[in-house]
Each structure stands twice: as C-alpha cells, then as structure tokens.
Amino acid sequence: MASSLPARCGTTRGTQADRKNKEEWGEMDKGKFTVLKADIDAQIREIENIYAKLEERRQEENRPTGIESIAYQLHNLYCAFEDLFKIVANTFENNIPNKASYHVELLKRMAISIEGIRPSLMSQESYALLENLRSFRHLFRHAYSYELGARKVRIVIEDSSKRKDIYRKDINTFLDSFLC
C-alpha cells in the first residue's frame, strides 16, 4: 500500500500559511520527521488491516459469534489507534501523569494543540467518534459476564466506519503542519 501521507504541504512553498505553521510549530529535524512518518505509515497499515477484518466480519453480524468477532476487532481497532497516539506522544511530549486515567487523557491530548510543540492529531469530530470506541473497548475488556448487545456493537461499528473516512485527513493535516 502506498503511503497516503503528504510529501509536502500546500500547492506552493512560502505561502503565508506555510510561514505561520513554521512559526507556530517550529522546524522539526528531518530525521525525526522521517522516523515519525515511517512509524505513522506502519501504524496506518495496521489500522487498515483491522478495518478490512471488520468488513469481513460484518457478513456474520446477525449471529452471536459474529457479534463477538466484530466486538473483538473493534477492541483491536481502538488499540491500534491508541498505538498511533503513543507514537505521537513519544515523539513530542510523552507525559501523561495520571496513570489511572491514562487512556482518557491520551485521547484528549491528541485532540488538542500544544503550542510550540505540535498541532492536534485529530479533529473534534474524530475525538467524539474515538471516545465512543474507547468506551466500548473498556466495556469489552472489563465486562466478563456482560452479554454484548448487537445494537450497541452496530452503533460502534457505524461510528468506526465514519472515523475511517476522516482519520487519514486528520493525519495528513497534522503532518502537513511540519512540512512548511
């Protein structure tokens, strides 16, 4: 799969918007950026593989075992997105002090810009969709005697499908801000 990430931002170099990005986020070392982009590309491949598995599993969503299989892949999908967030956090700020709410805080952190450090990784729309997926992942991991409801799983998979349509744009926007 070819990288969907930007080779450079804007249509021309040196625009006012390009200079603003450079002033706001500073210049990133080329080697550091190359490693970040490679790590993000690799994680995108993981995310895309999980989305493909979700599409396969949807053929069986009317069976209890199909719902369980879809739920497992939704769990994996959030974990893959969280791994992407860890890549970004480790490259930049890498400090989430409250371990009790680590997953919530990491997701929130990716939705905000940190002045002088980095732009946000995702839009507010993405944040809302991922918060729903994070909540589902928590339920899936910790509700041992809870029967998964097909309706809840379908709602989460619909949200995840919406997220699929926008996450690459979010990542491209994020990376573009360093290329100017």
CA 94 to chain centre: 16
Residue-level pLDDT at 22: 53
Decide if 1 contacts 46 (C-beta within 8 A).
Answer: no
Spell out the per-residue pLDDT of the chain, length 180, in tens. 444 444 444 433 334 444 455 555 666 788 889 999 999 999 999 999 999 999 999 888 888 788 889 999 999 999 999 999 999 999 987 777 777 788 899 999 999 998 888 999 999 999 999 999 998 898 888 776 667 778 888 888 888 988 888 999 999 999 988 875
> DSSP string of 130-142?
HHHHHHHHHHHHH
The DSSP call for residue 59 is G
CA angle 96, 101, 106 (to 5 degrees): 45
Pick the CATH number of 16-179 from 1.25.40, 1.20.1740, 1.20.120, 1.10.287: 1.20.120
Contact of 111 with 124, CB cutoff 8 Å: yes
Name the H helices within the chain. Answer: 16-25, 30-57, 64-91, 102-110, 124-142, 150-179
